[in-house]
Homo-oligomer: A and B are copies of this chain.
Amino acid sequence: MNTVRTKIANRALNAGDRLPSVRRFASTMGVSPSTVVEAYDRLEAEGIIRARRGSGFYVTGADLPPMALTEMGPVRERDVDPFWVSRQSLDADPSALKPGCGWLPADWMPNAALRKGLRALGRADNTLLSDYGSTRGSLALRRLLLGRLAEEGITATADQIMLTGSGTQAIDLICRLLLRPGDTVLVDDPCYFNFQTLLRAHQVRIVGIPFTPTGPDASAFEQALIEQNPRIYITNSALHNPTGASLSPQTAYRVLSAAAAHRLTIVEDDIFADFEPALSPRLAILDGLDRVIRIGSFSKTLSASVRCGYIAARPDWIEGLVDLQIATNFGGPSPIASELVASVLAGGTYRKHMDEIRQRLARARKEAIARLEPLGLVPWTIPRGGFYLWCRLPVGYDSTLIARRCMEENVILAPGNVFSVSQSAASFIRFNVAQLNDERVFSVLKRAMKTAERSRSAGL
The chain A residues found within 8 Å of chain B, CB to CB, are 15, 41, 44-48, 50, 60-65, 67-68, 70-72, 83, 86-87, 90-91, 103-104, 106-107, 109, 111, 114-116, 118-119, 121-123, 125-136, 139-140, 142-151, 153, 155, 157-159, 165-169, 172, 176, 180-181, 194, 197-198, 200-201, 203, 299, 302-307, 322-324, 326-331, 333-337, 346, 348
Contact = CB atoms under 8 A, between A and B. Distances in A.
Contacts of A151: 50, 60-62
A333 B307 CA distance: 7
B118 A330 contact: no
B181 A336 contact: no
Contacts of A47: 143-148, 150
Given A132-B305, A327-B197, A337-B337, A126 B111 contact: yes
A164 to B, nearest CB: 9
A135 B91 contact: yes
A203 B176 CA distance: 11
Copies in the complex: 2
12 contacts: A45-B348, A47-B147, A63-B155, A91-B136, A106-B126, A106-B130, A106-B131, A111-B126, A118-B122, A194-B327, A307-B333, A307-B337
A143 B70 CA distance: 10
Contacts of A348: 41, 44-45
Nearest to A304: B132
A153 B62 CA distance: 9
Contacts of A68: 139, 142-143, 146, 157-158
Contact of A326 (B86, B107, B119, B128): B86
Given A168-B330, A303-B129, A147 B48 contact: yes
B115 A103 contact: no
Contacts of A330: 86, 166-169, 194, 299
Contact of A71 (B111, B119, B139, B180): B139
Given A64-B143, A87-B326, 5 more contacts: A45-B144, A50-B147, A65-B158, A107-B126, A109-B130
Contacts of A103: 131-132
A93 to B, nearest CB: 10
Given A86-B330, A134-B91, A330-B166, A305 B119 contact: no
Nearest to A176: B201
Contacts of A324: 201
A411 to B, nearest CB: 18
Nearest to A197: B327
A348 B67 CA distance: 26
A131 B305 contact: yes
A61 B194 contact: no
A325 to B, nearest CB: 10
Q: Which 7 A-B pairs have the closest CB atoms?
A: A47-B147, A68-B158, A109-B130, A62-B150, A197-B327, A45-B346, A62-B147
Between A114, A200, A329, the greatest number of chain B beta carbons within 10 A of the residue's beta carbon is seen for A329
Contacts of A302: 130
B323 A83 contact: yes
A118 B115 contact: no
A323 B158 contact: no
Contacts of A322: 87
A67 B89 CA distance: 43
Nearest to A90: B135
A446 to B, nearest CB: 28
Contacts of A201: 176, 324, 327-328
Contacts of A104: 130
Contacts of A139: 68, 70-71
